[in-house]
Amino acid sequence: MVGTSKRAVYAALFGNLGISIAKLIAALLTNSSAMWSETYHSFSDTFNQVLLLIGIKTSSRVPTERHPFGYGKEQFFWSFIVATLLFGISGILSFEKGFASIFDPVHQIVNTNISYVILLISAIFEGNALRIAFNLFRGNIEARGEKVNLHKLFTEFQESKDPTVLTVMVEDSAALLGIAIAAIGIYLSDVTNNMIYDAFASISIGAVLMLFAFFLAKENRALLIGEAMSKKDHVKIIESVSKIPEVNRVITLRTMHFGPNDVLVAMEVSIVDNINTDQIEQVIDTIEERIKSVIDVKTSSKIYVEVERDSCPVNSKKMQDHKKNE
């Protein structure tokens, strides 16, 4: 997962770096407020990728005495910084540029063909980066043997715990939307000779950036605080553990993500009576193996199982049936 996340980030990084320089040149040559907003947008996206790579790198550090559960949440932290700092700043700058153009009587855009060419090239690069991120996202569904459809994609997007791929997808989607807004604003100003459309395009791009920033900040805030695994994985664990003959029932199950594939699992189970200490240890080992078999858990060091004895006629029958099958 880390390797695929890096692939998506690198694809976005190199694409955005070239796009940023091209948009800056176009903004200087055309004096378009919308192109300036797109320049702020692309440069912030480029720096975003650097921060995401830092998050991937630092999250892979081995646990220490001070951080015994590791550094997996570094990815959540840096993705949160991307949302709150960079998107927020570029959004504010776009707002400022747009409103300044509205009240500037001499504002005039020139060389609009340059803007069209740069925006078209940018759309191609951003579309390719989005395609790579989307394929990785879709691959998670296909890897589970599930059919990819609109509902599955929406559910996967909601339940994804990988802030890196999620951020890249949001960035590239915002970039394509920003390109479309800039192109429309520049075109309307060009054909009507009214610069208000160019200014409104800049303000609209700023609004898009702030909207996407709020969405990303909200998603990463939940992960930083400590978000549980998806309901689907929660149910899979309970069903798998409940099938163990010695297990009476699952009393509690608490989970928390430390990273996309690094999960803390704390489970309390009730086991049948009349089994010795060695058998209890075997039951705990079996429970851990069942948990690792149904979800992608990095290590077993974050799986904690607490057992209590429970005498129940139903479970006595369950054990008898199990012994007969043996």
pLDDT of residue 317: 47
133 and 183 assigned to the same domain? yes
pTM: 0.75
131 and 54 assigned to the same domain? yes
Number of structural domains found in the chain = 2
Q: Encode the chain in three state secondary structure.
A: CHHHHHHHHHHHHHHHHHHHHHHHHHHHHHCCHHHHHHHHHHHHHHHHHHHHHHHHHHHCCCCCCCCCCCCCCHHHHHHHHHHHHHHHHHHHHHHHHHHHHHCCCCCCCCCHHHHHHHHHHHHHHHHHHHHHHHHHHHHHHHHCCCCCCHHHHHHHHHHCCCHHHHHHHHHHHHHHHHHHHHHHHHHHHHHHCCCHHHHHHHHHHHHHHHHHHHHHHHHHHHHHHCCCCCHHHHHHHHHHHHCCCCEEEEEEEEEEEEECCEEEEEEEEEEECCCCHHHHHHHHHHHHHHHHHHCCCCCHHHEEEEEEEECCHHHHHHHHHHHHHC
For the CA atoms of 274, 278, 281, 287, the dihedral, rounded to the nearest 10 degrees, stands at -60
What's the CATH code of the domain at 131?
A: 1.20.1510.10
Instruction: Indicate left, alpha or beta for 70 from its phi (over 0: left) and psi (-120 to 50: alpha).
Output: left
Token pair belonging to 159 = 């339940």
| Residue range(s) defining the domain that contains residue 295 | 231-325
| CA neighbor of 175 nearest in space, from 56, 5, 42, 21 | 42
pLDDT of residue 309: 67
Q: Please identify, among 225, 253, 278, the residue that sits at the C-terminal boundary of a domain.
A: 225
184 and 287 assigned to the same domain? no
195 and 236 assigned to the same domain? no
Residue 253's identity, in one-letter code, is: L
Residue the block writes with tokens 């607490």: 306
Tens-digit pLDDT string for the chain (326 aa): 455 567 677 777 777 788 888 899 999 998 899 999 999 888 888 888 888 888 888 888 888 888 888 888 888 888 888 887 767 788 888 988 889 888 887 778 888 899 999 999 888 888 887 887 778 777 777 776 777 777 777 777 767 777 777 777 888 888 899 999 999 999 999 999 898 999 999 999 999 888 888 888 888 888 888 888 888 888 989 999 999 988 988 999 999 988 877 888 999 999 888 788 888 889 999 998 888 888 766 555 688 998 886 555 444 445 445 444 44
Q: Please identify, among 188, 203, 225, the residue that sits at the C-terminal boundary of a domain.
A: 225
37 and 23 assigned to the same domain? yes
Q: What residues are paired with 304 via a beta bridge?
A: 266
199 and 278 assigned to the same domain? no
Using only C-alpha atoms, the chain has a radius of gyration, in whole angstroms, of: 26
Q: Please identify, among 209, 225, 241, the residue that sits at the C-terminal boundary of a domain.
A: 225
Sheet strand arrangement including 247-259: 247-259, 262-272, 303-310
pLDDT of residue 201: 93
pLDDT of residue 320: 46
What's the CATH code of the domain at 268?
A: 3.30.70.1350
pLDDT of residue 297: 63
85 and 43 assigned to the same domain? yes
Q: Tell me the C-alpha distance between 179 and 201, whole Å.
A: 10
236 and 92 assigned to the same domain? no
84 and 211 assigned to the same domain? yes
164 and 33 assigned to the same domain? yes
20 and 167 assigned to the same domain? yes
150 and 282 assigned to the same domain? no
